[in-house]
C-alpha cells in the first residue's frame, strides 16, 4: 500500500454490507510478518523460529511511503543537517540502545545485531562508523520518549503514528503500546499492523461511521479494521502477551482489574461508583500499566507507551480526592523513572504543558512543539531554564512539521501524512455499551 493508491468511493445507494466491505478493503491486514504469525499462532511460535519471515518494522515505513531510516541517516550526514549536528535533540529519542549495545558499537562488533531486523542492523552499522562516534556518544541507554504539545489539530497524533508506529518498530523492533481514548481511533493509519488489546469480559462495540451521511453506519468486527485481537485480564497479563516489534492498540479496562494493587491507589469502575466524582476516568488505567512495567519485569524489551490527552491522567498539583489522584500522579513520576531504566519510553501528547504535572515534567528530556504553538516558558518546573527556541519559533512551521528540542538544541522534523494510507472517509467509533449504561445509573 502506498500513498498513491486509488481510493474507493461509495455512492448513496450503498448498503451496510458495502460499507463493511469498504472497511475491509481499506484496512487489509498485513499478515506475513513474524509479529502477525506470533499472534495468529497464539504466541506458540517464538519469533526466532520463523527465520524466513520479516518483522513488521521492515515494512511499516513503506506503508507510509517513507525512505528507510538508514538512508535518512546517510542523507543528514552528507548535508550536515541539524539532526546530525545535534543528535541529543532528536536521534537520541528515536534510536534506542542498551549500554551493552553501545559497548559493542564502540568495538565495532556488529555480530551482536545479526538476529535483529535488517533495518536495525543498518542503523547500527551507521552508528558504528568511526566518523559517527560523536553520535554514538550522544545516545543514552534506557527509555526516553518526548512530549508533544499543542491545541488539537496541529499534528501530534499523526507524528506519533509515523515516529512511533513506523520508525520505532523499524529502528528498534520496539513494542508499541498505544492507549486508545475512545474519542477518536487515533491509530487507524496503522490498523493493518495493529493488534487490538481488549479487556476480557467487556462488551466492546465498533461502529464504522462514514463521513457522508447518505451512507449507513454499520457495526463491524475488530478484525474488519485491525489485524488481530487479544484479550487481557490485567496490565501484567497484557505485558505477558506482547511480543517485540508489535503494535498494540490498547483499550483500557473499564473495570481496572489489577490496578489498585499495582498502583496502591483507589480505582472505582462505573459499576461500583456511587457518584460521578468517584468514577475513575478510563485514561487512568495507564497508571496500572506503567507500574506493571516498572515493577514486574515481565519484559525488558524496548517498549514505547503512547499517551494521548496525557494531561487528563497527569494534571498539575493533584489533590487526594475520591480517586487518589495525587497518589497516582506522584506515583507515576516515580514508576516512570524506574521503568525508563528498563527500556520503557513514554510519548506524551497534551494540549498544554502548564497544566501538566510538574514532577513528571521534571523526568522528561525532549519536547515537541507543533506548528502555530507558542514556545513554553523555561520558568515552568522541569523545562530547561533557557529554552533553545524563540517564543514564536513554531509559526514558521507548516502542517506535518514540528520542532523537537532538549535543553541545548533543536531540530525541525517532518513526516508523511498518515491519513493518506487509506481511503475510508469517516470514523471508527469504539464504545463500551455496558459501561455507558452503568454511568447513566450512577
Residues that bind ligand ADP (CB under 6 A): 150, 152-158, 399-400, 415-417, 419
| Cα(372)–Cα(401) distance, integer angstroms | 11
How far is C-alpha 133 from the chain's CA centre? 29
The CB-of-144 to ligand ADP minimum distance in angstroms stands at 21
The CB-of-309 to Mg ion minimum distance in angstroms stands at 8
Q: Is residue 150 part of the contact set for Mg ion (CB under 5 A)?
A: no
Q: Which does 384 bind (CB under 5 to 8 A by kind): ligand ADP, Mg ion, none?
A: none
Contact by Cβ (8 Å): 184, 309 = no
301 versus 420: smaller Cβ distance to ligand ADP? 420
Footprint on residues 164-223 left by Mg ion (CB under 5 A):
none
Q: Does residue 87 sit in helix, strand or coil?
A: helix
Beta strands in 62-187 (DSSP E): 145-149, 175-179
Candidates 32-40, 127-135, 157-165, 207-215; binding stretch for Mg ion (CB under 5 A): 157-165
97 versus 347: smaller Cβ distance to ligand ADP? 347
180 versus 259: smaller Cβ distance to Mg ion? 180
114 versus 398: smaller Cβ distance to ligand ADP? 398
The CB-of-124 to ligand ADP minimum distance in angstroms stands at 28
47 versus 310: smaller Cβ distance to ligand ADP? 310
Q: Does residue 356 sit in helix, strand or coil?
A: strand
The two beta strands, 218-220 and 205-210, are antiparallel
Q: Which does 419 bind (CB under 5 to 8 A by kind): ligand ADP, Mg ion, none?
A: ligand ADP
The CB-of-308 to Mg ion minimum distance in angstroms stands at 6
157 versus 280: smaller Cβ distance to Mg ion? 157
Number of residues that bind Mg ion (CB under 5 A): 1
| Cα(153)–Cα(319) distance, integer angstroms | 30
245 versus 416: smaller Cβ distance to ligand ADP? 416
156 versus 291: smaller Cβ distance to ligand ADP? 156
128 versus 397: smaller Cβ distance to ligand ADP? 397
Q: Is residue 269 part of the contact set for Mg ion (CB under 5 A)?
A: no
Q: Which does 222 bind (CB under 5 to 8 A by kind): Mg ion, ligand ADP, none?
A: none
The CB-of-78 to ligand ADP minimum distance in angstroms stands at 23
Q: How far apart are the first and last CA of the chain?
A: 47
Name the residue with the smallest CB distance to ligand ADP.
400
The CB-of-307 to ligand ADP minimum distance in angstroms stands at 12
Candidates 81-89, 156-164, 268-276, 325-333; binding stretch for Mg ion (CB under 5 A): 156-164
Residue 167 has what DSSP assignment?
Answer: I
Q: Is residue 157 part of the contact set for Mg ion (CB under 5 A)?
A: yes
| Cα(285)–Cα(312) distance, integer angstroms | 12
184 versus 278: smaller Cβ distance to Mg ion? 184
The CB-of-65 to ligand ADP minimum distance in angstroms stands at 11
The backbone region for 264, taken as left when phi is positive above 0, alpha when psi lies in -120 to 50, beta otherwise, is left
The CB-of-181 to Mg ion minimum distance in angstroms stands at 9
How far is C-alpha 423 from the chain's CA centre? 23
168 versus 263: smaller Cβ distance to ligand ADP? 168
The C-alpha cell 525488558 sits at: 300
| Cell representation of residue 76 | 543528514
Q: Which does 158 bind (CB under 5 to 8 A by kind): ligand ADP, Mg ion, none?
A: ligand ADP
The C-alpha cell 528498563 sits at: 342
Closest CA to 3 of 62, 68, 69, 67: 62
The CB-of-62 to Mg ion minimum distance in angstroms stands at 24
Q: Which does 417 bind (CB under 5 to 8 A by kind): ligand ADP, Mg ion, none?
A: ligand ADP
Candidates 25-33, 52-60, 103-111, 151-159; binding stretch for Mg ion (CB under 5 A): 151-159
Tally the residues of the chain.
442
Residue 140: CB partners within 8 Å, gap ≥ 6?
A: 92
For residue 273, what are the CA distances in angstroms to 75, 269, 280, 281, 318?
A: 56, 6, 8, 11, 20
Q: Does residue 49 sit in helix, strand or coil?
A: helix
Q: How many CA atoms lie within 13 A of 101 on its CB side?
A: 22
Q: Which residues pair with 104 in a beta bridge?
A: none
The CB-of-353 to ligand ADP minimum distance in angstroms stands at 14
Sheet holding 205-210, edge to edge: 218-220, 205-210, 426-431
Query: Which DSSP string corresponds to 20-84?
Result: HHHHHHHT----SSHHHHHHHTTT-S-GGG-TTSPPTHHHHHHHTTPPPHHHHHHHHHHTT-HHH
Handedness of CA 44, 47, 48, 52 (dihedral sign): positive
Q: Residue numbers of the site for Mg ion (CB under 5 A)? A: 157
Amino acid at each position: 500500500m502506498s500513498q498513491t493508491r486509488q481510493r474507493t468511493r461509495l455512492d448513496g445507494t450503498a448498503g451496510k454490507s458495502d460499507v463493511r466491505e469498504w472497511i475491509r478493503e481499506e484496512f487489509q491486514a498485513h499478515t506475513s510478518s513474524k509479529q502477525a504469525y506470533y499472534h495468529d499462532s497464539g504466541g506458540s511460535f517464538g519469533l526466532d523460529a520463523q527465520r524466513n519471515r520479516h518483522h513488521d518494522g521492515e515494512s511499516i515505513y513503506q506503508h507510509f511511503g517513507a525512505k528507510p531510516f538508514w538512508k535518512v541517516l546517510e542523507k543528514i550526514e552528507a548535508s550536515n543537517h541539524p539532526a546530525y549536528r545535534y543528535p541529543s535533540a532528536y536521534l537520541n529519542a528515536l534510536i534506542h540502545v542498551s549500554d551493552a549495545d553501545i559497548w559493542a558499537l564502540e568495538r565495532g562488533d556488529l555480530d551482536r545485531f545479526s538476529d535483529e531486523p535488517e533495518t536495525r542492523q543498518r542503523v547500527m552499522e551507521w552508528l558504528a562508523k568511526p566518523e559517527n562516534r560523536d553520535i554514538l556518544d550522544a545516545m543514552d541507554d534506557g527509555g526516553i520518549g518526548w512530549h508533544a504539545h499543542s491545541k488539537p489539530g496541529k499534528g501530534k497524533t499523526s507524528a506519533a503514528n509515523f515516529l512511533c508506529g513506523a520508525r520505532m518498530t523499524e529502528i528498534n523492533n520496539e513494542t508499541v503500546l498505544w492507549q486508545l481514548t475512545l474519542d477518536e481511533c487515533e491509530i487507524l493509519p496503522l490498523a493493518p499492523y495493529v493488534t487490538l488489546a481488549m479487556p476480557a469480559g467487556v462488551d466492546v462495540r465498533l461502529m464504522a461511521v462514514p463521513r457522508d451521511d447518505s451512507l449507513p453506519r454499520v457495526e463491524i468486527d475488530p478484525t474488519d479494521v485491525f489485524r488481530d485481537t487479544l484479550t487481557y485480564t490485567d496490565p501484567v497479563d497484557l505485558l505477558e502477551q506482547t511480543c517485540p516489534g508489535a503494535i498494540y492498540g490498547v483499550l483500557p479496562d473499564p473495570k481496572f482489574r489489577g490496578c489498585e494493587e499495582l498502583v496502591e491507589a483507589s480505582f472505582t469502575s462505573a459499576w461500583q461508583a456511587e457518584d460521578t466524582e468517584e468514577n475513575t476516568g478510563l485514561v487512568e488505567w495507564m497508571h496500572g500499566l506503567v507500574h506493571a512495567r516498572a515493577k514486574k519485569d515481565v519484559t525488558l524489551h524496548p517498549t514505547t507507551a503512547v499517551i494521548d490527552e496525557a494531561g487528563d491522567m497527569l494534571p498539575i498539583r493533584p489533590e487526594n480526592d475520591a480517586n487518589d489522584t495525587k497518589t497516582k500522579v506522584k506515583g507515576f513520576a516515580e514508576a516512570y523513572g524506574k521503568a525508563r531504566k528498563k527500556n520503557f519510553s513514554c510519548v506524551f501528547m497534551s494540549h498544554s504543558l502548564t497544566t501538566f504535572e510538574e514532577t513528571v515534567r521534571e523526568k522528561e528530556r525532549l519536547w515537541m512543539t507543533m506548528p502555530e504553538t507558542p514556545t513554553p516558558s523555561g520558568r515552568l518546573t522541569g523545562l530547561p531554564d533557557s529554552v533553545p527556541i524563540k517564543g514564536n519559533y513554531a509559526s514558521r512551521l507548516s502542517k506535518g512539521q514540528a520542532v523537537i528540542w532538549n535543553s541545548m538544541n533543536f531540530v525541525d522534523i517532518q513526516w508523511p501524512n498518515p491519513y493518506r494510507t487509506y481511503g475510508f472517509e469517516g470514523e471508527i467509533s469504539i464504545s463500551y455499551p455496558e459501561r455507558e449504561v452503568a454511568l447513566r445509573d450512577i
